[in-house]
Chains A and B, each alone.
Chain A
Amino acid sequence: MTTRISSNLLRLTAIVVLFLASCQKDFLDRKPLGQLTYDTFFENEEQAVLSVNAVYNQFRDWDCISFPYIGNTDIISDDSDKGSTPTDALYMLEIDDFTFDPTNATFSGVWRGYYRAIARANLAIARIPDVDMDVAKRNRLIAECRFLRGYSYLLLVQWFGELPIITEPLGGDSYYTQERRPEAEVYALIESDMLFALQNLPEKSAYPSGDLGRATKGAARGMLAKLSMLRKDWAKAEQYCQEIINSGEYSLLPKYGDNFLPVGENGAESIFEIQAAALPPNNGVVGPGATPFNMVQGVRGIPNLGWGFNRPSDNLVSAYENGDTRREATVLYVGEVLPDGSAVVKDNPEIVGERFNQKAWVPAHTGLQDNGPGNIRVMRYADILLLCAEAQMEQNKITEARTLLNQVRKRARGTNNFILPDVTVTDQAQLRERIYRERRVELAMEQHRWFDLKRWGRQQQVMQAVGKNFVAGKHEYLPVPQTEVDLTGDKIRQNPGY
């Protein structure tokens, strides 16, 4: 019996020892399955491109282009009201009425949304230089990221003022230690990013057709022009605008309204757009190329196109000169036929003073409303012409400024010579008012107004005039999201007044 046991034991021991020896090392090495991991990422050109595309992807995120974005650009300004039914999404009404505090979800929304874009860009900027690939393309990819990072900071600095400046992926020991830096430092970062972009990006026409929509030299110049305007460096602003004008890459579309229809997407007038498309939904009901931008502003009622936020204000409607057809291209009224003729907007009894942002309108498409296909127009040639005119006007180059201003008015006038006559004023102050007004109506509901008012120092005057509870010395800047103050134990300081 003993021998039998011994031989059994020997056999068993052998099996166990073999088992131990054979699999112990590999047995415990387990990596995530069906996934790339960071330790083996940024190893080739394809992955470098993936990482850059992922930065663009963030700009279609809810935080970056829906409630938080339109809330803190259009709705907060005198151009529009909250919209929708009176009690829907009251935190949006708080922005409209200046009754918000630092916990309002739209502030954390834009802050989080654009800092995530910055983080994605930072990672690509830090790692792509080590990827073995064509040098020109590598520089282009980095330049795209620096453009998108600079653009994110440009938005954030206009909203919040001083910012934590983050230019590389943060390690665990620096999560909570960032402090806000002066606006001038943020400007300097934006400038260096945009200059790098300008140097390394191709012109719009130089991209293969499959890459249409990526950042371009023209877009970088435009951002530099905007930054120069913020710095009141009129000469530089004019110079960048002139470079765009002289590049031959852009022109005004003959019909103003075409800019906001599918036909105008990436058209001759387009300098930079957030690209979107209604693709067949692949996960749930939203396609992989969609934005909620069109849905949140779409007609609420019949035809049912969306939620009806961002209602063009009475003040905006009355800001147009008589007969200015841009109003009809900007505001969608009850009784109006949709741009594609598919339906007539019916009265919705639940909405007071019902009207919608026609520039966010999109025709019928695959999927539901949330599968919004419309590109978000960030920068148009007309914007640059008016910036150029403004920069010239500030330098007292009245004639040049008037010429550009009238170029914009001429396009708006179309063939109807009874409207929008050429501006002929010669006084700088008068011309300033004409340019400001032109800028408002030309770019209405395109998320520029609040920043323009801020740049002009007119927030208090304009907002109080329309009866808003604007407090000078406080509301010029949005409050920093309370969670940032809480999480950093006040290292991130709140803006004055909040």
Chain B
Amino acid sequence: MKQLKQILTIALLLLAWGLHAQHSVKGTVTDKADGTPIIGATVRELNGNAGAITDVDGKFELKVSSPEAVLSVTYTGYSPSEVPIEGRSELSITIGFSDNVLEQVVVVGYGTQKKTDLTGAVGSVKSKDLERIPTASVDQALQGKMAGVYVTPTSGEPGVGAVIRIRGTGTLNNSNPIYVVDGMITYDASFVNPQDVQSIEVLKDASAAAIYGSRGSNGVIIITTKNGKKRKDAVITLGTYYGTQSITKKLDLLNATEFGTLYNELINQQYYPDPSALGEGTDWQDEIFRTAPIGNVQLGINGGSDRYSYNVSANYFNQSGILKNSEFERVTLRLNNEFKVNNWLTLGNNLAYANVQRQYAPGVIGGAYRMPPVFAPRDSTGDFTDPTSPFGLAIGNPAAELYYRQNNFARSDRFFGTVYGNIQLAKGLTFRSNFGFDIENGRGRSFTPKFEVSASQLNKDDQLNVSIGEKRDWIWEQTLNYNKEWGKHSVTVLAGYTAEERRYEYLNAGRRNFPGTSDVVLYLNAGNDTTQTNSGGAQEEALISYLFRLNYTFNDRYLLTFSMRTDQSSRFTAGNRTGVFPSVGLGWNIGQEDFIENLNIFDNLKLRASYGVLGNQSSAGLYPSYGSITTALYAVFGSGEDLNQGGTLITLGNPDLRWETARQTDAGVEFGLLGSRLTGEIDWYNRFTYDIIAAVPIPAYVGSSGDPVVNTAKVRNRGWDIMLNWRNNGDNFIWNIGGNISPVKNEIVELNGQKAEIFAAFLQGEAATRSAPGLPIGAFYGYVTDGVFNTAEEAASSPRLGNESAGDLKLKDLNGDGVITADGDRTYLGSPIPTLTYGFNAGMEWKGFDLNADLFGVSGNKVYNAKQTFRFSVYNWEQSFYDNRWTPQNPDAATPRITNGGHNYRVTDRFLEDGSFIRLRSLVLGYSLPQSLIQRLKITKFRVYAGGTNIWTSQKYSGYSPEFSNSGNAYEVGLDNLGYPVAKTWQVGFDVTF
């Protein structure tokens, strides 16, 4: 403080010496958003020499050359402001957050950079965009916001994250990006409360992501949480919202009368003499789905002084699932501090605690889809109905399942954070030591009471299972940062060393036969100790890395970035352990060259290009090199029927596994036009992944219980990221509209080794996808239908697969050999990967009102409606089948006759549907009370809002949602096997700032 004042004084004295005609001016710089003073803003005389930095109260004082001079006020992350003095001696200046991307500072790996200095492709979302639209998680907030970032909510289950693909699907296996939360690398950022987030940056190309080396090839999502501002007055924010969620769409399944009619038709008997007597029956969807509440309360306090800053927040989030008996509850606390200990040492921390409690519903969605409507959930005596007869159902009564298996809870405590120290060693040279940790203790607890609904749906002994899991991850990073400017040159060098360890251990235990079912009794000790079981295990990995980055800028126009990371991973054997990941990026702020400036078109124009090599170790699994001996392979021998331990290698390992590597080329242009009202960014990229680590299906005669992982393939993702934004800053009416569009072509270039194609997604023994060179990963594969045989004669005289007759699917004889064969007549049917994803964002503000909307859509992909193909016993049908099926009376039908399984349910284009959709991700209308009204209440801001999520969708797919959960297996992404459907939400809320 003292030194700062000394510096200021000296500066002022120097100024006073050199200047003659002087005008003294003082004033305050405050934040436009909340009126609080800004510390450390630079105030300069435009075209003059005078300058000052605002103090703890936001005050400044300086002597300028003339009373008519103009002051320029700049502050990192804020729009610069130019204020004419107009003879005044005291000024009150307000500045606001920058809306202009050019002035933005973006977070890159291990540092920050001005957007104008970037040579890489980095997408950025600031807190302002996140705050307007309430979301439950960070990944959902990203949907539709950036070109090249494709977010699919995999499930509507509360607390379940989205799948994110950055610039296509990079590999055959794990294509998930990594998250870096305040410097700590994690694979799961679900604990982050979106209201705590200052910014989210997505590193898309090699120039940006190579600093994350072996984990950068699928992109990097950097989440930076809010810190306090260095100012005296604390800012208190309080926000809350409440909403209701419901299923986006209900499927049109048969009622009991229609079902009875079809059943009679199926077995060719009048099992139901009068189907209409069955009436409507049960719509099982109504038995499992519900309208469910969602709510959130957020309290935050931040502030500071010139020596420290703090941000404390507390959040409570509660979401009930639209599937009954599923709940998610999260409490998060955050404490971010930074202390300037002295003029060479700064200490800081970003600490978060999250407590999550959840209830898991049993898997009943498939059951409700398949259960015949002729059963009531409960019979007249109130007992659950046994639905097994007469259909031999392989599924249980979903209502009973929900009831008896509802006692399934999990709880976790997660401590996540970083503690750091920065030491200024010399001018421009800083050493930083950053320790990050992620400690999570989870507990699971489930109790299933004794029950019997039917012979196949029962639990003979009541049973309690508890589990404990403990995660201990840490990273310790040492980095040196050197910064020097001379003349027109500017250099920043980063060098560092990091070590990290990740470890997880779990313990499960269970007992049966409890003397009661009350919560007081349900602890393991109360169970029968002769029934006790336990299991446990652990896993760990470690990584050591060296990093280096050089940024060089000449004349603010010519930009060079070189970065390199060397990773050594415990996942590989010593010989294959080290990976080197370099990248180079070039940029040219061509807009500053005279020949462009003279055009008077561009406010800025930048060209950039980058090339680099990135790795992906996460496809490998933790111990891919070791074949694990499975030791639970018991045999029984002896007159006493004794259990003998058995064990052997049943899944093959691969000690020769190498890094999976991606080469990425990017070329981009950034521009601003019309006074930077129109800004845009266009990138072309070519991302080529080779040595892809994946488990490949092998013939069963090899006898492996699992498929081995090998370096097997090459995949190319080539596409464009295009973003355009229009912003109009009027006095009363501010509006912006933006769009992003990302065409991408995913293509397998080569499958190495013995096998040129990979069949997967087996449905009743038949592959539904075939991945091969020239095709996208997981391309659908099967027979092509040509309608339905109208008559038995037609069937008999046509190429057939088996004994198809009238009403059965007619398959195309693609190779024209007169017979339908598996080898000759199956073909590529479509891609599960969208060729185009796009988003539109619009916002406007007018007299206190604000309106924001996000649209998101995809096109070019197909969906395989796999849920319809499972018919192990007599399940319910969809209305469209009932209405369109072939019958002797309806011989021209497009849909085959009724059969239960068999030929008509084989893998054909019958079940292939268009996956394109456009969805109104969110729509929020807000109103901020006028300052005149709230100032009397000492409130800075008061905003109320109402809106919704997923409230409108235009989809072609007949299922619940074109966004559905999948196994995560790249070969099976487009198959809908009935997961937890996403919900639509309506909500109201308010935010207050004191």
Contact = CB atoms under 8 A, between A and B. Distances in A.
Query: A and B, one complex?
Result: yes
Interface of A: 1, 5, 8-9, 12, 16, 19-20, 23-24, 27-39, 41, 47, 49-58, 84-91, 94, 99, 101-105, 107-108, 111-112, 115-120, 122-124, 164, 166, 170, 172-173, 175-178, 209-214, 266, 275-277, 279-283, 285, 288-289, 300, 304, 348-350, 367-368, 373, 481-490, 492
B542, B764, B765: residue with the most chain A Cβ atoms closer than 10 Å = B765
Interface range on chain B (Cβ under 8 Å from partner): 35 or more
A407 B704 CA distance: 45
Contact of A490 (B433, B540, B623, B823): B823
The 9 closest A-B CB pairs, nearest first, are A119-B703, A88-B392, A53-B646, A38-B627, A85-B392, A36-B629, A54-B646, A277-B641, A56-B635
A373 B636 CA distance: 10
Interface in B639-673: 639-650, 652-654
B478 interface: yes
A37 B638 contact: no
B423 to A, nearest CB: 7
A214 B636 CA distance: 9
Contacts of B190: none
Contact of B537 (A34, A55, A487): A34
A16 B764 contact: no
B542, B630, B634, B872: residue with the most chain A Cβ atoms closer than 10 Å = B634
B635 A33 contact: no
B455 A304 contact: yes
A177 B702 CA distance: 11
Interface of B: 266-267, 344, 389-392, 394, 423-425, 431, 433, 455, 458, 460, 476, 478, 497, 499, 501, 530-531, 533, 535-544, 568-570, 574, 577, 622-623, 626-650, 652-654, 697-705, 708, 710, 753-757, 759, 762, 764-767, 801-803, 822-823, 871-874, 900-902, 906
6 contacts: A38-B629, A85-B389, A116-B650, A120-B648, A277-B643, A483-B765
A124 B633 CA distance: 14
Contacts of A54: 630, 633, 635, 646-648, 650
A276 B636 contact: yes
Given A50-B631, A54-B635, A90 B902 contact: yes
A28 B531 CA distance: 40
A103 B900 contact: no
A487 B628 contact: no
B635 A57 contact: yes
A30 B646 contact: no
B648 A275 contact: no
Nearest to B907: A103
B570 A368 contact: no
Nearest to B754: A176
Contacts of A122: 703
Contacts of A103: 764-766, 822, 906
A275 B710 CA distance: 37
Contacts of B708: 172, 175
B925 to A, nearest CB: 51
A85 B698 contact: no
Given A5-B344, A57-B635, A103-B764, A37 B627 contact: yes
A111 to B, nearest CB: 6
Contacts of A276: 636
A173 B754 contact: yes
Contact of A30 (B537, B623, B762): B623
A24, A37, A214: residue with the most chain B Cβ atoms closer than 10 Å = A37
Contacts of B872: 88-90
Nearest to B638: A210
A233 B177 CA distance: 65
Given A28-B544, A84-B392, A103-B766, A38 B626 contact: yes
Contacts of B570: 27-30
Contacts of A116: 650, 700, 703-705
Given A12-B431, A103-B906, A115-B700, A489 B756 contact: yes
A9 B431 contact: yes
B392 A87 contact: yes
A279 to B, nearest CB: 6
B803 A99 contact: yes
A172 B753 CA distance: 9
Contact of A492 (B431, B460, B699, B764): B699
Contact of A350 (B266, B390, B630): B390
Nearest to B697: A487
Contact of B639 (A52, A88, A212, A349): A212
B756 A34 contact: no
Contacts of B764: 91, 103, 105
B626 A487 contact: no
Contacts of A38: 626-629, 649, 653
B458, B530, B533, B633: residue with the most chain A Cβ atoms closer than 10 Å = B633
Contact of B650 (A90, A115, A120, A214): A120
A57 B392 contact: no
A283 B538 CA distance: 18
Given A275-B637, A483-B699, 15 more contacts: A12-B431, A23-B499, A34-B537, A51-B648, A53-B633, A90-B872, A116-B650, A118-B703, A172-B654, A175-B702, A176-B754, A210-B640, A277-B643, A283-B535, A492-B701
A88 B875 CA distance: 11
Contacts of A481: 700, 765
A87 to B, nearest CB: 5
A170 B702 contact: yes
Given A28-B544, A28-B577, A176 B699 contact: yes
Contact of A101 (B391, B801, B900): B801
Given A116-B705, A288-B632, A483-B700, A30 B637 contact: no
A275 B649 CA distance: 22
B648 A50 contact: yes
A31 B572 CA distance: 10
Contacts of B801: 101
A482 B699 contact: no
Contact of B540 (A33, A86, A482, A492): A33
A3 B22 CA distance: 43
A115 B499 contact: no
B754 A210 contact: no
A434 B546 CA distance: 83
B391, B628, B635, B652: residue with the most chain A Cβ atoms closer than 10 Å = B635
Contact of A85 (B391, B424, B628, B649): B391
Contact of B623 (A31, A211, A279): A31
Nearest to A107: B765
Contacts of A9: 423, 425, 431
A105 B901 CA distance: 13
B906 A89 contact: no
A281 B704 CA distance: 26
B497 A16 contact: yes
B267 A41 contact: no
Contacts of A373: 641
B29 to A, nearest CB: 31
Contacts of B873: 85, 87-89
Given A28-B542, A275-B637, A482-B765, A175 B699 contact: yes
A275 to B, nearest CB: 4
Nearest to B392: A88
B765 A280 contact: no
Contacts of B766: 103, 482
A34 B536 contact: yes
A483 B530 CA distance: 44
Nearest to A368: B460
Given A36-B629, A51-B648, A56-B635, A489 B640 contact: no
Contacts of B759: 483, 486-487
Contacts of A488: 699
Contacts of B639: 209-210, 212, 266
Nearest to B626: A37
A350 B629 contact: no
